[in-house]
Amino acid sequence: MVIHVVESGDTLWALANRFGVTVQQIVAANGLSDANTLVIGQALVIPIPQYHTVKQGETVWKIAKQYGTTPEAIAQANQLANVNSIQIGQRLLLPATLRPSKEVNAYLINLGSTGQTMIKQVGNDLTYLSPFSYEVRSDGSLKALNDQQVLEIARSKNDTPLMTITNIGTSGFNSGVAHAVFNDAAVQEVLINNIVNTLSAKGYKGLNIDFEYVPSEDREQYNRFLQRIVDLLHPLGYSVSSALAPKLSSAQKGLLYEAHDYAIHGRLLDFVVLMTYEWGWAGGPPMAISPLNMVKRVVDYAVTVMPRGKIMIGIALYARDWTLPYVKGGPYARTFSPEYAIKLAARHQATIHYDQLSQSPFFSYTDEQGRKHEVWFEDARSIQAKFNLVKDYNLRGVSYWVLPTTFAQVWHVQEDSFNVVKL
């Protein structure tokens, strides 16, 4: 795989001819709905062939640059005594990239037919599937989840299912539910019994705890709850993991952060998911949703207090469209798929730009009512940058929020970067 950024004058036919693939292969790899419409600045995944046939004027250096490899690697793969002595029409074997093995989790919200189809299509690229979610009530009961069919499909793909519990109430994450669970012994006992029964009845292999906006005064009670869960579930053969707010230090203030004790979670649990996204949240000003510079700062802190082999970074698989000027408390930004973002840019003839600091694409446009918009999204380049971070830091893997209905590029980039661990 190579990533090509569209320039003025590019066509799919010309790109297919240049890289020795078909137009249909490029269309499929990028989920393109219109093969005749490309956007300047758009990132395209090109599924490269195994061999390259030398054309007039080509050098090993030029070929290596085209496919993202080195002249030395091509020379070694083809046993070339002299890299300057290649002939027109000669077939060169393109060197395979050595890929590390990493774990991949995906949260799935749509458990109906759409979600079931998604698992059938991409289940081979996952280690874990986490249907979202079993909502905890203040009495320790769990809101029922119709997850049986997606679990059956996941098992057919050898995906390890994780039972995800949350303190989500009718209006989002509920601090009161978390407080009741951590401080009322009777409520906690009911919840733990419900967790064990559900794990067994549904065939889950582990528990993922996503408790957010936990009161800061409940930090130690949360830690004790984790110890109790681990002591109970580990002997039964279940893994235990958690989702953590993206902290930059142990002293970070705020309801989202203070009760999430990185050091304790890293010591007790099998792994953690760092929720490294939502800097560009729907109710805030326009910016990159998951800026690499901020993701890196979170990881830089995390590796000082927990093992690298227990850290999975969260990757957002969506786009946001803000109407300008941004007004605090005003209408929320629209959220949609990265592929729809490309369609929107094409419709308004916008040029896609790439911010080097955040490693994120964005564009602006004016709608039919004359209102200006700013769109930030993820593409093959931004996903690749985060995968490179995982490899550079030797982390456990990645976790997608959330499994998208359409984003073909991500699976090609992942397959080019990692071998997925199957348990």
pLDDT average, residue stretch 360-383: 98
pLDDT of residue 284: 98
Last residue of a domain, one of 61, 93, 125: 93
Last residue of a domain, one of 93, 116, 135: 93
Q: Which residue has the tokens 């279940």?
A: 238
- The pLDDT-based confidence of 203 (bands split at 50, 70, 90) is very high
Domain match, 229 and 324 both: yes
* Domain span at 317: 101-420
Q: How many residues does the chain have?
A: 423
User: Is omega for the bond preceding 402 within 30 degrees of 0, making it cis?
Assistant: yes
Domain match, 56 and 72 both: yes
Domain match, 283 and 210 both: yes
Domain match, 156 and 16 both: no
Provide the strand spans (E) within 132-275. 134-135, 160-166, 168-169, 172-173, 206-210, 239-244, 271-274
Domain match, 152 and 83 both: no
| Cα angle value 3/418/411 (rounded, 5°) | 55
**Runs of H (alpha helix) within 370-421:** 380-392, 408-417
Spatial CB neighbours of 51, under 8 Å, sequence gap ≥ 6 = 20, 91, 92, 93, 94
31, 408 in Cβ contact below 8 A?
yes
- Among the listed residues 103, 212, 258, 374, the single catalytic one is 212
Domain match, 350 and 231 both: yes
CATH number for the domain harbouring residue 394:
3.20.20.80
Last residue of a domain, one of 93, 119, 135: 93
Domain match, 220 and 352 both: yes
Indicate the SS3 state at residue 342. helix
Higher pLDDT, 83 or 187: 187
212 is catalytic: yes
- The pLDDT-based confidence of 236 (bands split at 50, 70, 90) is very high
- For residue 180, pLDDT beyond 80: yes
- The pLDDT-based confidence of 160 (bands split at 50, 70, 90) is very high
> Cα(166)–Cα(142) distance, rounded to whole angstroms?
9
- The pLDDT-based confidence of 48 (bands split at 50, 70, 90) is confident
Indicate the SS3 state at residue 236. helix
For 391-408, the pLDDT digits (tens) are 999 999 999 999 987 899
pLDDT average, residue stretch 330-341: 96
26, 44 in Cβ contact below 8 A?
yes
CATH number for the domain harbouring residue 83:
3.10.350.10
pLDDT of residue 93: 86
Element (H, E) at 60: helix 60-66
Domain match, 84 and 122 both: no
Assign residue 144 a region (left: φ > 0; alpha: ψ between -120 and 50; beta: otherwise).
beta
Domain match, 399 and 324 both: yes
> Cα(291)–Cα(356) distance, rounded to whole angstroms?
10
Domain match, 305 and 288 both: yes
Mean pLDDT (the chain, rounded): 96
Q: Which of 198, 203, 195 is nearest to 153 (CA)?
A: 203
- For residue 379, pLDDT beyond 90: yes
Domain match, 29 and 112 both: no
390, 313 in Cβ contact below 8 A?
yes
Number of domains within the chain? 2
- The pLDDT-based confidence of 307 (bands split at 50, 70, 90) is very high
Quote the pTM value.
0.92
Higher pLDDT, 77 or 342: 342
For 281-294, the pLDDT digits (tens) are 999 999 999 999 99
> Cα(384)–Cα(416) distance, rounded to whole angstroms?
9
